[in-house]
Amino acid sequence: MKTVSIVVPCFNESEVIDTTIAELISVTNGIDNYQFELIFVNDGSSDDTESKLLAHSQQHDNVRTISFSRNFGHQQAVSAGLDVSTGDAVVLIDADLQDPPKLIADMIVKWEEGFDVVYGTRASREGESKFKLASAKWFYRTLNYLSEVPIPLDTGDFRLMDRQVVDHLVAMPEKSRFIRGMVSWIGFNQTSINYERSARFAGESKYPLTKMLKFGIDGILSFSVKPLKLSIMMGFACSGFAMLMLLYSVYVRLMTDHWESGWTSLLVSILFMGGVQLISIGILGEYVARIYNESKDRPLYIIKKSRELDAAKADETVK
Ligand code: UDP
Ligand code: MG
């Protein structure tokens, strides 16, 4: 029998986690002929997500919990789940029921048809702020324009991946992980399923603006060097413009007898050039910072040992 692993990253999801587990178990029980392994990655939650997860792991044989030593971030949590998964296919799904678990059955059907990656594309999104909708729409389009590999629009991490794709993903050593892009880069046979993304079942988004920005910048810089080229283009455009201004100034000075004292244009061009230079250095700096991070070669995440789970296991062996 084939096994499908389901990886669920959880950060302070105490309000939703019981319902999510119940829903995932009922959905997977309804799918015949497959074994399911549920892997919950507790990304350093400060609420009681961890103890709830551990209780479920003890109750159900096929539920596993991994806990990080602190909050490492969504993409790291997903990576940890992939690292330990054993299934012939792996499904990534959020803990807040925004991605409907029912779709897993449809994804498996597509997988059996021969697709290696089946990702969910959001046809609509309920219960998100206007700002989130607009920024997401804008982000996916910019990313796609800049990226050297086409990355599907309006697509999150909710997806099923065949074992061979997962193995390649796990073997990719980079530290700034933008998983949806990395999967596109890996290739193979990919297809999408449209779905309506519902509102969060309970609790608040764990992606405040700062995390969202970091995630977005990671996505763009990990998949494109076009921002560097853009700063060269800006440099050329500015120098070109400066040349024209120079010619014009010489012309005015020599051929006419009414030249301006001209500090406005001077100030504007100094400020403009200063701005362009700072932006370009900033872009360069972002890439250098990434090289620095990669070269430190630290692990992506740190898993802490679970005393509770170990104790429970010891109990079982005693029995
Ligand atoms: N998440 C995580 N670590 C983080 C932030 C989020 O593991 O630092 C998990 C979170 O528990 C959820 C998923 O990532 O399962 C997506 O987060 P969320 O639903 O808050 O993001 P949104 O849907 O608002 O973009
Ligand atoms: Mg969510």
The alpha carbon of 315 is separated from its chain's Cα centroid by a whole number of angstroms, namely 39
* 306/240: higher pLDDT: 240
Q: Which atom of ligand 1 is nearest to the CA of 98?
A: 23
Residues 62 and 150 in one domain: yes
Query: How far does the centroid of ligand 2 lie from the alpha carbon of residue 205, in Å?
Result: 6
Q: Tell me the pairing of strands 34-42 and 2-10.
A: parallel
Residues 244 and 215 in one domain: no
Residues 220 and 230 in one domain: no
Residues 276 and 148 in one domain: no
Residues 42 and 56 in one domain: yes
How far apart are the C-alpha atoms of 35 and 32, rounded to whole Å? Answer: 8
Q: Residue 300 in 3-state DSSP? A: coil
5, containing H or E segment: strand 2-10
pLDDT of residue 126: 77
CB 184 within 8 A of CB 143: no
Residues 90 and 127 in one domain: yes
pLDDT tens digits for range 16-70: 999 999 999 999 999 989 999 999 999 999 999 999 999 999 888 899 999 999 9
* 8/147: higher pLDDT: 8
Average pLDDT over residues 192-216: 83
Residues 129 and 248 in one domain: no
Q: Does some domain include residue 309?
A: yes
Structure-block tokens of residue 293: 């991070």
Query: How far does the centroid of ligand 1 lie from the alpha carbon of residue 35, in Å?
Result: 26
* Confidence band, pLDDT 50/70/90 cuts, at residue 137: confident
Half-sphere exposure of 160 (CA within 13 A, CB side): 28
pLDDT of residue 150: 83
> In this structure, what CATH number is given to the domain that contains residue 219?
3.90.550.10
Residues 64 and 179 in one domain: yes
Least confident of 32-41, 136-145, 181-190: 136-145
pLDDT of residue 155: 86
Residues 59 and 154 in one domain: yes
Residues 231 and 189 in one domain: no
Q: Residue 8 in 3-state DSSP? A: strand
pTM of this prediction? 0.80
Beta-bridge partners for 193: 120
Tokens 């296919």 — which residue?
A: 89
Domain count, the chain: 2
Residues 140 and 19 in one domain: yes
Q: Does some domain include residue 319?
A: no
Q: Does some domain include residue 98?
A: yes
Q: Does some domain include residue 286?
A: yes
pLDDT at residue 319 greater than cutoff 50: no
Helices marked H in the chain — which ranges? Answer: 14-29, 49-59, 74-84, 103-112, 130-146, 163-171, 179-186, 209-223, 226-255, 263-296, 307-318
Q: Does some domain include residue 140?
A: yes
Query: Can you give the residue range of the structural domain that contains 231?
Result: 226-296
Residues 98 and 240 in one domain: no
List pocket residues of ligand 1, CB cut-off 6 Å. Answer: 9-11, 13, 43, 71, 73-74, 77, 94-96, 98, 205-207
Could you give the angle at which helices 179-186 and 209-223 cross, rounded to 10 degrees? 20
pLDDT of residue 119: 93
CB 158 within 8 A of CB 95: no
pLDDT of residue 280: 85
Q: Which atom of ligand 1 is nearest to the CA of 12?
A: 11
Average pLDDT over residues 13-17: 92
